[in-house]
Amino acid sequence: MSSTRIEHLIDEVKAAFDRRPTDIEAGLDVEDAALLQLRKACRLLAGAESLRRVDHEIKRGRVPRPDGRLPAPSN
């Protein structure tokens, strides 16, 4: 996956967070803008952490890259 493709996907995720959801989960307070932004930020950080974990596993050869190939062994 190219860095351009990754950047495009990140932009799509950011845009999704900027849109007002039509189906808000029960019990979620969306009236407090600061709290809502904090929740968005936490979810973005969780997504970034997940991507870093997957990248680490790919580099160690434990999981295939997004294109299905295993990375070349490093020396």
Q: Token digits for 33?
A: 């803008």
pLDDT at 53: 87
Owning domain of residue 35: 29-67
Number of domains composing the chain: 1
Is position 43 within any domain? yes
pLDDT at 1: 56
pLDDT band at 74 (very low <50, low <70, confident <90, very high): low
- Give the pLDDT confidence of 22-36 residue by residue, as tens digits: 776 777 776 777 888
* 16 backbone dihedrals φ, ψ, rounded to 5°: -65, -35
For residues 41-46, give the mean pLDDT: 88
* Rg, C-alpha atoms of the chain: 17
| Whether the Cβ atoms of residue 12 and residue 5 lie closer than 8 Å to each other | no
Q: Where is average pLDDT lowest: 14-18, 27-31, 46-50, 61-65?
A: 27-31
How much is the pTM? 0.51
| Whether the Cβ atoms of residue 50 and residue 56 lie closer than 8 Å to each other | no
Is position 9 within any domain? no
* CA–CA–CA angle 46, 38, 30 (5° rounding): 115
